A and B are shown apart, each in its own frame.
Chain A
Amino acid sequence: AQSVTQPDIHITVSEGASLELRCNYSYGATPYLFWYVQSPGQGLQLLLKYFSGDTLVQGIKGFEAEFKRSQSSFNLRKPSVHWSDAAEYFCAVGSSNTGKLIFGQGTTLQVKP
Chain B
Amino acid sequence: NAGVTQTPKFQVLKTGQSMTLQCAQDMNHEYMSWYRQDPGMGLRLIHYSVGAGITDQGEVPNGYNVSRSTTEDFPLRLLSAAPSQTSVYFCASKDRENQPQHFGDGTRLSIL
**A residues neighboring B (CB under 8 Å):** 4, 9, 32, 34, 36, 42-44, 46, 49, 51, 90, 92, 94, 96-106
Contacts and interface: CB of A to CB of B under 8 A. Distances in A.
Contacts of A43: 90, 103-106
A90 B56 CA distance: 24
Interface in B91-112: 92, 94, 97-98, 100-101, 103-106
28 contacts: A4-B42, A34-B101, A43-B90, A43-B103, A43-B104, A44-B43, A44-B103, A46-B100, A46-B101, A49-B100, A90-B42, A90-B43, A92-B43, A96-B98, A98-B48, A99-B32, A99-B33, A99-B50, A100-B33, A100-B48, A101-B33, A101-B35, A101-B43, A102-B59, A103-B42, A103-B43, A103-B44, A105-B42
Contacts of A106: 40, 42
A98 B90 contact: no
Contacts of A46: 100-101
B98 A32 contact: yes
B104 A51 contact: no
